[in-house]
Structure 1
Amino acid sequence: MITVKGKLQQAASTEHCAALLHLTEQGLVQLYAEQDNSLLMEVAADQYQMAEVLPGLPAELLFNTGAVFSPDDSNWRWPKGGRQNVTLKLETNKSLIVLSVIAVPILIWWLTAVGLPKAATAMVPFIPVAVEESIGKQSMQVFDRTLLSDSELSPQLQQSIRSQWQQAVEQLQLNSGYQYQLHFRSSKTLGANAFALPGGYLTITDELVRRLETKPDAILAVLLHEVGHVEHRHGMTLAAQATASTIVMSVLFSDLEGITEAVLGTGTSLVQSAFSRDMERQADYFSTKALVKLNKSPHAFVEAMLALTKGQPKEQLSPWLEYLSSHPDTKERIEKARQQAQP
C-alpha cells in the first residue's frame, strides 16, 4: 500500500482539506481527513484517472465525481500512470528534445519555403477575378499614398500611349476576364519603372516614359511584360503565399490577431513583394510572344531593358521593388529577346 499526503478538493467547490490517500495494489483508493482520520471517500480503480503530468507540478488524481486530489510533493508520480508516464518520458527524453530542436526549425522552414507556396499557388486558380480586382484596387491606393504622385506627362502623350496600348490589348484578344487599367504616375522613389497589380492594374512612371518617349514599341513591350504578370496571376500568387505564411506563423506563435491582419493586409503586402526569377521569365516570354503576334519586333523589349537599366547600378535600385535583384540576369533577358527577334 502507498500513502500520499495532499489536499482534496470536492467537486463544484473551491474548498479543500488536508488528506491522506492510501492506494492499494489492486488500485483501490481510500481518502482520510488528516485532521481526524475520518474516511472521506473510497473509490475503485475504474472510478478515477491520473491527470496529465507537467514538469514541476504534482500529478493530480481526478475522480469521476469531479473531486481532485493534489499531492503535496510537486515531484510525486503515481506508480501506474499509463498515458501520463508516456508523456513524462517524452518530455524528459534528451534524444527527443535534441531531435525536436533540430526538426521543428526545419519543419517551419519547409512550410514557409516549400509547402505553403505550393499550396497557395494551387489555390490561386480558384480565386475569383473580382477578389483580385479588389486587392489590386487596395494596393493601388497604398501606392498612391506612399510612393506615387500625379503624372506630369502631357495629356497628348498619355493618350497616345494609351491608344496604342488599348489597340494592342484588343488585338491580343485576352480571355482572362481582366478589365485592364493603365495608370500614369510620377515617382522619385521608384524612378524609371513599371509594375502590375492583381486584377489588371498597370502603372508606368513618367521617368520610364521619358526614357522611351521616342520608342513607343518599347513602352508597349514594358506594358506587355506587366500584362504577363497579371495573366499568369503572379501578384495573386505572391499575396496568397504571404497570407498563408503569416497565418501559419501566427498560429505557431499564438498570435491569433496576426491572422486578421494578414487577411486585411493582403493587398498592401504586395507593395513590398518582388516577383521571382521564374515569374519574370514568364512575363518576358509573354511580352516577346505578344509583340510577334502584333507584328512587332521583340527587339523593342531589348530597347526597353537597356533603357530601364541605363545608369542604375544594382545597388542603387529601389528597395521597394528590388527590380534587378529579383529579376533574371539582364544580359540573359536581352539575349533571349534578341534570339526571338532574329528571322
Structure 2
Amino acid sequence: MMGDAPQLRGLRGHAYAARSSYRQPARLLTREGGEDLWVDIQNDERAVLASAYLSDLRVDPPLGTAPRKVTFPDGAVFETTDHDAIEALTGKTRGSLLHHYENFNARLFGVVAVCLAAAWVMWRYGLDIMASVAIAFTPPAVIEQIDVGTLQTIDFAMAEPSRLTDAQKADVNKVYRRLVQSLPQDVQDEHSFELLFRDMPGMGPNAFALPGGTMVMTDAFVNDFPDANVMAGVLGHEIGHVVEQHGLKRIYRSLSMYILIAFLAGDVGPILEDVVLEGNVLLSLSFSRAQETSADEFGLSLSDASGFDPAGLKLFFEKLDEEYGDQEPPQWQSTHPSSAERVKAIDAYIDRL
C-alpha cells in the first residue's frame, strides 16, 4: 500500500517548476497526508515548488543509470539518480525487474555468455531450419519476382544487350534444352528454366542461375567455350543450383541472419523489400563451397545422363586455372573452391560415374 511507504527526509536531485525550463537543485520530501503520503519538492531556499499526493504522481520506469523522473499533476518535474530511494517510496514499478538485471555485476557475464551461446546455436543450426521452412512456404510468384527484380538490377548496373548471333544462341539453347529435358518432369514443371544472354565485359566467361530458374550466360562464355560438352557441364552446374534451391537458401539464410541481428540489436531496415523488388541482396550473396561442390556433381551427372561428356566441366576449370593461376580470383569466384581443387574433385567423381 502507498500509505505504508517510508517517508523521505530530503531525497536530493533536481527539479523543474511547472511551466519552467529552469533546472535547479531540489529535494523531495514526504509527510503524512491521511491515508496517502503528501509529497513536496523544495529548492535550496526551502521554497515549495510543487506538492501532491503520492498516488497522483507519475513515476517513469527505470532505465539504466538515467535519472528517474517524478512528474506532478501541475507539470512540475523532480529527477534523481537515487533509484533505490524512488523504489522504496513507490514499491516495485513497471521495468523494475529488468532494471535489476541491467545492473552491472558478476551475473551479467553469465547472462551475456548465455545470449552469445544461444546466438551461436541459432546461427549454426537454426538459420538453415528457418531457411528451409521459409522456402516451403514461399509462393512461386514471389520467387518469380525475385528473378525479375534481380535481372532488372543486373541490366541496369552491369549488363548490355547480347551481341551473339542467332546461330550462336541456338547452339547453346539446344544444349540447354537437352539438359532440362533430362530432368524429372516434376522438376521441369517447378521452375521456368529460361536461358538468357547478356554482354557483361567485367565478368568474363560466366553463367549464373537465379532462384526461379532464370539462367544468364555471358557472350564471353559462348565465344571462349563453343564446345557443347563444356557448355553442358557449366549449364548443368547452374541447373543444379536451381534444383537444389541454393539461391533461395542463401537468400533466406541471409534474411534469417538479419532477423537474428535485429532481435539482438534492433531494426536493420526493409530487407525483404530490397530482395523482392530490387534483388540487391541476392547480388551480394555467394554460394558456399559445399553448394558449389554439390552443383558440380549435379552438373556432371546431368551432363552424363543427357549424352554429353562430363569431362567438359573439367576443361572449363582447367582453362580458368591456366588463365588465373595464383592470381586473385574474380569477385564471382571469391567463395568458390579453387579451379585446381575442382578439377581433382571432378576427376574423382567421373571415375565413380
Instruction: Give the alignment's TM-score, normalised by structure 2.
Output: 0.75
Matched, 1:137 2:148: yes
Matched, 1:184 2:197: yes
How much does 1:204 deviate? 2.0
In the alignment, the residues of structure 1 paired with residue 338 and residue 280 of structure 2 have an alpha-carbon distance, to the nearest angstrom, of 19
Deviations 1:60-100, CA, capped at 9 Å, x for gaps: 5689xx78986554325333643666445423332134445
- Residue type at the aligned position of 2:9: T
Q: Which residue of structure 1 aligns with residue 164 of structure 2?
A: 153
Whether the 8 Å CA contact 2:152–2:278 is kept in 1: the answer is no
Q: Which residue of structure 1 aligns with residue 81 of structure 2?
A: 74
Which one of 211, 219, 228 corresponds to residue 224 of structure 2? 211
- Residue type at the aligned position of 1:132: I
In the alignment, the residues of structure 1 paired with residue 239 and residue 96 of structure 2 have an alpha-carbon distance, to the nearest angstrom, of 61
How much does 1:119 deviate? 0.9
SS in 2 for 1:29: strand
How much does 1:313 deviate? 2.6
Matched, 1:283 2:295: yes
Which one of 206, 209, 221 corresponds to residue 193 of structure 1? 206
Deviations 1:43-64, CA, capped at 9 Å, x for gaps: 67xx88965333544445689x
Q: Greater CA deviation, 316-325 or 119-128? A: 316-325
SS in 2 for 1:198: coil
SS in 1 for 2:198: strand
Task: For structure 1, list consecutive stretches of 5 or more residues without a partner in the other structure.
Answer: none
How much does 1:309 deviate? 3.4
Aligned length: 333
Task: Sort the Cα spacing of 1:76 and 1:230 in 2 relative to 1 into closer, same or farther, 3 A.
Answer: closer
Task: For structure 2, list consecutive stretches of 5 or more residues without a partner in the other structure.
Answer: 1-6
Whether the 8 Å CA contact 1:8–1:68 is kept in 2: the answer is no
Whether the 8 Å CA contact 2:193–2:213 is kept in 1: the answer is yes
How much does 1:140 deviate? 1.7
Whether the 8 Å CA contact 1:314–1:325 is kept in 2: the answer is no
Which one of 50, 54, 78 corresponds to residue 63 of structure 2? 54
Matched, 1:3 2:9: yes
Task: Sort the Cα spacing of 1:27 and 1:61 in 2 relative to 1 into closer, same or farther, 3 A.
Answer: farther
Whether the 8 Å CA contact 2:62–2:96 is kept in 1: the answer is yes
Task: Sort the Cα spacing of 1:242 and 1:142 in 2 relative to 1 into closer, same or farther, 3 A.
Answer: same
Whether the 8 Å CA contact 1:211–1:307 is kept in 2: the answer is no
Whether the 8 Å CA contact 2:237–2:295 is kept in 1: the answer is yes
How much does 1:151 deviate? 3.0
Percent identity for Structure 1 against Structure 2: 21
Cα RMSD (Å) of the superposition?
4.0
SS in 2 for 1:183: strand
Task: Sort the Cα spacing of 1:288 and 1:50 in 2 relative to 1 into closer, same or farther, 3 A.
Answer: same
Whether the 8 Å CA contact 1:60–1:69 is kept in 2: the answer is no
Q: Which residue of structure 2 aligns with residue 227 of structure 1?
A: 239
In the alignment, the residues of structure 1 paired with residue 122 and residue 317 of structure 2 have an alpha-carbon distance, to the nearest angstrom, of 35
Instruction: Give the alignment's TM-score, normalised by structure 1.
Output: 0.77
In the alignment, the residues of structure 2 paired with residue 198 and residue 77 of structure 1 have an alpha-carbon distance, to the nearest angstrom, of 57
